[in-house]
Structure 1
Amino acid sequence: MLLKTFGWSFAVTAGGLALAGVLWGWKGLAIVGILSILEISLSFDNAVINAGILRKMNAFWQKIFLTVGILIAVFGMRLVFPVVIVAITAKLGPIEAVNLAINDKEKYEHLVTGAHPAIAAFGGMFLLMIFLDFIFEERDIRWLGWLEKPLSKLGKLDTFSAVIALAVLLVTATTVATDVAHGGGDKSATVLLSGVAGLMTYLIVNGISGFFEDKLEEDEDEEDGEGGADGEDEADEKKPAENGGGRGSSGATVVGLAGKAAFFMFLYLEVIDASFSFDGVIGAFAITNDIFEMALGLGIGAMYIRSLTVYLVRQGTLDDYVYLEHGAHYAIGALAVILLATIKFEINELITGSVGIALIGASYWSSVIRNRREGHGGGAGSEEKTEVTSGV
């Protein structure tokens, strides 16, 4: 199972490190290795979030995520995206931007880091919306019940998440964005515009995917109603036994989303991955300003995140350790705040990665304690409908 899931990651690692050694020697090999570890540490929570979404999709779209998705993640976000940012901010043509990235690395680094306020505002708002929608949602299983229970009541107000996110954006634009470090000056307008764009992107992609997901559920409910008792029995027989033949917490069937619903869910996944990659791309400049070393190192790390996502889905880890998704969403909230803070302040990537790992580790341990208390190895979250809290 482990080799089957991580086989491609191991192969890409071996090939990537060998290529780095041939092209840039021992120094290049070390840089690529460090960048890979940086990407994995920064995006570990991304794998948990991705797994929670990917398990809703059918086998075909899971394969699309692993093939087309990895191409977008590695080449799109780690190689093409920084060049596009330079082209837009410096008002250069695509060829000029590529030439700058290859032949004038210092200026290229300066232009990419100069675009950081806009990148951080966009990614920070998108991730913040993911966190807020999760924390304000009414759910049967709660990790930090003392916090999540009152917040879920506030979440009954429509658009409450968007209002809070806009308030955070206004505070950010009028405080940290007014005097950006390294001679950036006042970036309030840039931060406001980019933050609103991030918020709109989330609302559009998440809204469309949610619409098709709900429509698919309604169609299946209608078919079940028309089929009667015999139809229901037949449908139950077709559902995977390992999932209990039921529905996930989102209401999507365990058979998996397909068609338009899966397509927009796939887009949602890619935007999430893009938002997570922002801090990795910017942070990589502290190690190297060579675009190819950066793409290779971050690409290897991205492969492991994809493999880890699939591993979590196939093992049913999120069902066995029910607080993992909570910890990952809290890590997303922390990353969103950190991204917005980095508009003005320098925050070491080690801190960013450590916060995420610590929160996921705490949620994992709470899940283990809960499983021991309940007297099972996991999976009870899909069987019981009563409210459960960790007692933390």
Structure 2
Amino acid sequence: MKYFRSSFVFTVIGLIGSYFVGHYYGGTTAKALEALFIASVLAVLEVSLSFDNAIVNASVLKNMTPIWRHRFLTWGMIIAVFGMRLVFPLLIVTVVAHIDPWSALQMAAFRPDEYAQLMLSAHLEVAAFGGTFLLMVALSYFYDSEKVEHWISWIEKPAAILGKVEAVEMGVCVLVLLVISKFLPEGQNFSFLVAGLAGLITYVVVDGIGAFMEASEETMKDVHRASAAMFIYLEVLDASFSFDGVVGAFAITHNLFIIMIGLSIGAFFVRSLTIMFVEKEALAKFAYLEHGAFYAIGVLATIMLTDPFLHFPEWVTGLIGAIIVLVAFLWSLKKGPTESAE
């Protein structure tokens, strides 16, 4: 429980805040309780959608220096709560409506229905950007020629062999974008491709920064630089996980502040899970847990990219990811701990 103490404290504060926000907008106790309930549902959805994110975070965080690990758990938390759950939705409306951020905030506060409509109108581009970035994350893991531990061998062994081909994951990703765009209406295919390619470029840039900073790790300064690159990577990864959850939350409520509270509670629990996975060395003890997380990321990316044709409710997406990770966990118990854990 020590890992989740701060998360429970924030949960209590957040739910109390959601009660008062609901009472302010609704004017009745019933509306206040409804807002509290919605914030709770959003928190659970965020955890279910981002559980695999916690595992991937742990796999990166274990290689960071203590000071950068602390910065991720403090500065990164501030970015996750206020950056992705408040500023990001405001920026979307700012761009879509061609207004300034202050006007977007006023619209969210006083005209929530109009604000939600503008947010949802950008769902195609947001899903394409986030889905492409996450697809690159998953493909880069499986198309790794140096990967020796395989869970589903008939999928992962051929992928590892193909990983010897330079930039094969980028080629697959571009092919996926082109195929999907062919089935979109004339007015949407270009926007989808541009947003998807932006997600691909973002991944390449972030990965390139990491490769540059990790080029030499002979001194403590270089190790700190490498940790800084990992910090950037984790923040972009967290943002990609947040895209679908933030936009999808508007299908449940149009109140930006309830959404921010609910998703932020979930983000706190994801950070707590990350710390627990690192300190308990869960990835070493459970051989296929990391594999399951990347499979879940691949499924989430696929769902985001195919959303224009086939929309899954957020709880279904979260449930699918949770089931994959659970199966990987049970399979890991069957195999036993890895040599490093032993």
User: TM-score interval w.r.t. the shorter chain?
Assistant: over 0.9
Q: Give 1:192 deviation, angstroms.
A: 0.8
Q: Give 1:258 deviation, angstroms.
A: 3.6
Q: Deviations over 1:51-88 (max 9, x none)?
A: 11111101111110111101100110011100100101
The within-5 A match list for 1:148-297 is: 148-175=156-183, 177-178=184-185, 186-216=187-217, 219=218, 258-297=223-262
The percentage of aligned residue pairs carrying the same residue is: 41
SS of the aligned residue for 2:165 comes to coil
- Name the CA shift for 1:281/1:256 in 2 (closer, same or farther; >3 Å): farther
CA contact (8 A) 2:61 2:278 kept: yes
Distance 2:82 2:272 in 1: 17
CA contact (8 A) 2:7 2:272 kept: yes
Correspondence for 1:18: 16
TM-score (norm 1): 0.82
Correspondence for 2:151: 143
- Name the CA shift for 1:101/1:22 in 2 (closer, same or farther; >3 Å): closer
CA contact (8 A) 1:79 1:295 kept: yes
Q: Which amino acid aligns with 1:294?
A: I
Correspondence for 1:321: 286
TM-score (norm 2): 0.94
CA contact (8 A) 2:216 2:222 kept: no
- Name the CA shift for 1:364/1:344 in 2 (closer, same or farther; >3 Å): same
- Name the CA shift for 1:257/1:56 in 2 (closer, same or farther; >3 Å): farther
SS of the aligned residue for 1:327 comes to helix
Distance 1:191 1:323 in 2: 34
Correspondence for 1:341: 306
Q: Which amino acid aligns with 1:153?
A: I
Distance 1:90 1:151 in 2: 43
How many residue pairs align between the two structures? 332
Structure 2: gaps spanning 5 or more residues:
23-31
Picking from 50, 55, 58, the partner of 1:48 is 55
Correspondence for 1:389: none
Q: Deviations over 1:21-51 (max 9, x none)?
A: 2332211111111111111111111101111
SS of the aligned residue for 1:64 comes to helix
Q: Deviations over 1:294-337 (max 9, x none)?
A: 00010000000011001100000000001111000000000000
Q: Which amino acid aligns with 2:97?
A: A
CA contact (8 A) 1:57 1:257 kept: no
Q: Deviations over 1:329-351 (max 9, x none)?
A: 00000000000111343211122
Q: Which amino acid aligns with 2:135?
A: L
Distance 2:62 2:244 in 1: 26
CA contact (8 A) 1:57 1:256 kept: no
SS of the aligned residue for 2:215 comes to helix
Provide the aligned C-alpha RMSD in A.
1.6
CA contact (8 A) 1:61 1:258 kept: no
Distance 2:180 2:21 in 1: 43
Distance 1:308 1:108 in 2: 33
- Name the CA shift for 1:364/1:266 in 2 (closer, same or farther; >3 Å): same
CA contact (8 A) 1:87 1:94 kept: yes
Q: Give 1:256 deviation, angstroms.
A: 12
Distance 2:222 2:110 in 1: 46
Distance 1:382 1:39 in 2: 30
Distance 1:335 1:22 in 2: 34
In the alignment, is residue 380 of structure 1 matched against residue 339 of structure 2? yes
The list of structure 1 runs, each at least 4 consecutive aligned residues, that deviate by more than 4 angstroms after superposition, is none
Q: Which amino acid aligns with 1:298?
A: L
CA contact (8 A) 2:90 2:104 kept: yes
Correspondence for 1:67: 74
